Amino acid sequence: MEYLLIMKTEKRILIALPAYNEEATIADIIRRIPQQPVPGVAISVLTVDDGSTDGTVSAARSAGAEVISHGRNLGLGQTFRTALRYARDGGYHILVTIDSDGQFNPEHIPLLIKPIMDEKADFVTASRFVDPELIPDMPRLKIWGNRRVAKLVGKLSGINIKDATCGFRAYGPAALERLSSFSRFTYTQEVIIDLASKGLTIFEVPVRILGERPVGSSRIASSLWRYAILSLAAMYSISHDHQPWKFYGTPALILLILGIAADLFVLIRWIITGSISPFTAIGLGGLFLITFGVLLFLFASLADTASHNRHLIETVISENVRKNRDGGYLFHKRE
């Protein structure tokens, strides 16, 4: 095993394809990736194999991609983090993710990269719903579900987003430095909330996308109920990390106000009449509300402390990623 020392003198882009049993389509996607998507850049193609049991790995390698294989199925979220870590360790300036199932056209990659190269965006996602004329032919239930998810993500992130689940995306230098992702199942909504909460600029680029996979069926959305539950869990997790007082402090304050009001009512009645009957239940309910309100305040305080610690760790990671990218040299392992 030897290491090549490479001068990092140009912008470098990593095109990453998550794959799980995509033998039928992945080679065609890789071969259609533009070799010079924008002037003055060098690209590399990586397939992250998430435990495929068919010929996905050999098909990707034969098409010219480097392959990292998990060995077993770990989920789309972990597959994305493998690509993210590879881009960070490799000193890449831009990471582009594109699914291996054939729904996205790799010739649209320059459209996603351009806002980043023009320094107008930190993160760009392809969108199926920004342009009404480009809405794909897909079941109405899926369109309705995607729009509901986009509205929820927009509310949690504070931005206007039309398509929060598309996996065809480009991450600029700032996004690569500051992004955090933890969900095992999926990462698409989580990433938007995380980057928006950190003040990064997000663009949506309308492109024509196939509404259904040309081969096989979706592994992620095979069960809409499971997809919805796990996606909500991921969104909740990332949102309360960024805004613990909003998620826990506000309900705590409401519970305390209601509890104190209930107990004050009972106390005033006892002072006036010498009895709390028939409002004993209100008094007890007030005590429970106050107790739960105090507990939520304590929980908010602990979550806020954890959030500060997370931000400190993210700052260290960001600085390391920036130094690795801009240090001037890249050590590349060759077997």
Spell out the domain ranges in the chain. Answer: 2-242, 244-323
Angle at 115 between CA 129 and CA 117, to 5 degrees: 150
Q: What is the pLDDT of residues 104-161, one digit of tens each?
A: 999 999 999 999 999 999 999 999 999 988 888 888 888 888 888 899 898 888 899 9
Predicted local confidence at residue 275, as pLDDT = 85
If you average pLDDT over every residue of the chain, what do you get?
Answer: 86
Q: CB of 154 within 8 A of CB of 131?
A: no
Cis check for the bond before 251: say yes or no (omega within 30 of 0): no
Q: CB of 220 within 8 A of CB of 184?
A: no
Sheet order of strands, 94-97 included = 66-69, 41-49, 11-19, 94-97, 169-171, 123-127, 202-206
Highest mean pLDDT among 240-249, 274-283, 287-296, 314-323: 287-296
Predicted local confidence at residue 127, as pLDDT = 94
The size of the chain, in residues, is: 335
Rounded Cα distance, 192 and 189, in Å? 5
In three-state secondary structure terms, 126 is: strand
Q: What is the pLDDT of residues 59-79, one digit of tens each?
A: 999 999 999 999 899 989 999
Predicted local confidence at residue 243, as pLDDT = 77
- Residue of 311, 128, 143, 292 lying closest to 224 (CA atoms): 143
High-pLDDT (> 90) share of the chain, %: 52
Phi and psi at residue 37, to the nearest 5°: -60, -35
Task: Name which of 39-43, 94-98, 215-219, 269-273 the model is least confident about.
Answer: 215-219
Predicted local confidence at residue 139, as pLDDT = 82
Checking DSSP bridges between strand 2-7 and strand 66-69, what pairing results, if any? Answer: unpaired
Mean pLDDT in residue range 37-42:
82
Rounded Cα distance, 145 and 152, in Å? 11
Judged against a pLDDT cut of 70, whether residue 6 lies above it is answered with no
Architecture of the domain whose range is 2-242: Alpha-Beta Complex (3.90)
Predicted local confidence at residue 222, as pLDDT = 53
Judged against a pLDDT cut of 60, whether residue 335 lies above it is answered with no
Predicted local confidence at residue 217, as pLDDT = 63
Judged against a pLDDT cut of 80, whether residue 325 lies above it is answered with yes
Contacts 24+ apart (CB under 8 A), 27-33: 27/59, 27/60, 27/62, 27/63, 28/63, 28/102, 29/98, 29/100, 29/102, 29/104, 29/106, 30/60, 30/63, 30/64, 30/65, 30/106, 31/63, 31/64, 32/105, 32/106, 32/107, 33/106, 33/109
Predicted local confidence at residue 141, as pLDDT = 82
pLDDT band of residue 5 (cuts 50, 70, 90) is very low
Judged against a pLDDT cut of 50, whether residue 220 lies above it is answered with yes
Predicted local confidence at residue 38, as pLDDT = 79
pLDDT band of residue 20 (cuts 50, 70, 90) is very high
Burial 126-161 (b: 16+ CB within 10 A, else e): bbbbbeeeebeeeeeebbebbeebbebbbebbebeb
DSSP 201: -
Q: CB of 310 within 8 A of CB of 241?
A: yes
Predicted local confidence at residue 285, as pLDDT = 93
Highest mean pLDDT among 30-44, 223-237, 239-253, 303-317: 30-44
Q: What is the pLDDT of residues 231-280, one digit of tens each?
A: 776 676 666 677 788 878 888 999 999 999 999 999 998 888 888 888 88
